[in-house]
Amino acid sequence: MSWTEIVIEVVRQHAEALSDALMDAGALSVSVEDADQGTDAEQPLFGEPGMEPEQAAWEHSRVVALASENADHAAIVAVAAKAVGLDSGPGAITYTLRPVAEQDWVRLTQSQFEPIHIGKNIWVVPSWHDAPDPNGLVLELDPGLAFGTGSHPTTRLCMEWLEAHAPQGLSVLDYGCGSGILAMVAKKLGAAEVTGVDIDPQAIESARYNSERNHCEIDYHLPEQFANSAQSRKFDIVVANILSSPLKLMAPMLANRIAPAGALVLSGVLDRQADEVAAAYAPFIGLTVWAERDGWVALAGRLPGVPADPAVDTNQ
């Protein structure tokens, strides 16, 4: 079957309503783009991991609706325009049509996800690719619903910290594990025991599946299960890549999970939020910015004390 794209340019306040109306009028899918993309007026939109940006569209938006080639495109636009009050007057909708060439959509989608090189020796490789460096630390991980494929700066920062402080023979807690990527990196770097925790049952299911594919033995729990099964358990390394607000609220709990001389690594924190997150943890552990990438930071610190395991690195 052949397809046609209906392309409409509107101001931001109409983009979301028009998208919904086009779907109701018979469009198969709708996307919103920056109509100024590639120009000096281009406007990037940012959101914290797992959260939508405050603006749902751009000041000058391009709404693109997909329909079959034989659909009544004029009728789809007319019905949608009337539904949002843009069928007449100065703001009346105009549109153009773009034919969509026949393509192998599976191959096209897969081609958009190439292997990701992180740190010195880590590769995140989709299942349909060969590892560029089979001697590296290779994670086979396909894009999915759970957050964490290595593409976001916060995930990369945590992976780079783990690589720089290899947890050989240590215990690691990945709180907010998402896809399980940080837990798997820790295990492949030699951690003796790794535990992952997430509030989302779907993330736990995804993390278990990914760990099995990557031959990593990791225990995954929902928070309540974890609290009940490991009430007094402490870990040599605690890593949490979440968001600044929940990180601040969880400061007493996460700090209580760190073993003597153990390390805490936090990300999901914008550089402007670093001081307030560090302040929330100050009564328990001193944190400083370990590294920054694209406006995001990783905070790290270590408790005083004598490690239970002499292999624990006492340097940040």
The domain spanning residue 290 has which CATH number? 3.40.50.150
Closest CA to 95 of 63, 70, 71, 126: 63
Higher-confidence position of 305 and 242: 242
CATH number at residue 31: 3.30.70.120
pLDDT digits over 115-152, tens only?
889 999 999 988 888 888 888 999 998 765 445 666 78
Domain-terminating residue out of 47, 72, 102: 102
* 23 and 154 together in one domain: no
Between the CA of residue 133 and those of 39, 120, 126, what are the distances in Å? Answer: 37, 11, 14
Specify the pTM.
0.66
Q: Does residue 110 belong to any structural domain of this protein?
A: no
Domain-terminating residue out of 75, 102, 129: 102
Contacts of 218 (CB under 8 A, 6+ apart): 180, 183, 184, 187, 194, 195, 196, 207, 211
Provide the residue range defining the domain that includes 163: 149-302
310 pLDDT band (50/70/90 cuts)?
Answer: very low
* 57 and 195 together in one domain: no
* Gap between the Cα atoms of 173 and 175, Å rounded: 6
The pLDDT of residue 286 is above 90: yes
Ranked by mean pLDDT, the top range of 4-18, 95-109, 163-177 is 163-177
Q: Does residue 118 belong to any structural domain of this protein?
A: no
Q: Does residue 315 belong to any structural domain of this protein?
A: no
User: How many domains does the structure of the chain reveal?
Assistant: 2
CA dihedral (158, 161, 163, 169) in degrees, to 10, reads: -100
Q: Does residue 43 belong to any structural domain of this protein?
A: yes
* 83 and 182 together in one domain: no
The pLDDT of residue 313 is above 50: yes
* 278 and 163 together in one domain: yes
Here the tokens at position 59 are 């000041």
Higher-confidence position of 306 and 64: 64
Q: Does residue 135 belong to any structural domain of this protein?
A: no
pLDDT digits over 39-88, tens only?
665 555 544 444 444 455 667 899 999 999 999 999 999 999 999 999 88
The pLDDT of residue 311 is above 60: no
* Gap between the Cα atoms of 142 and 127, Å rounded: 6
Q: Does residue 130 belong to any structural domain of this protein?
A: no
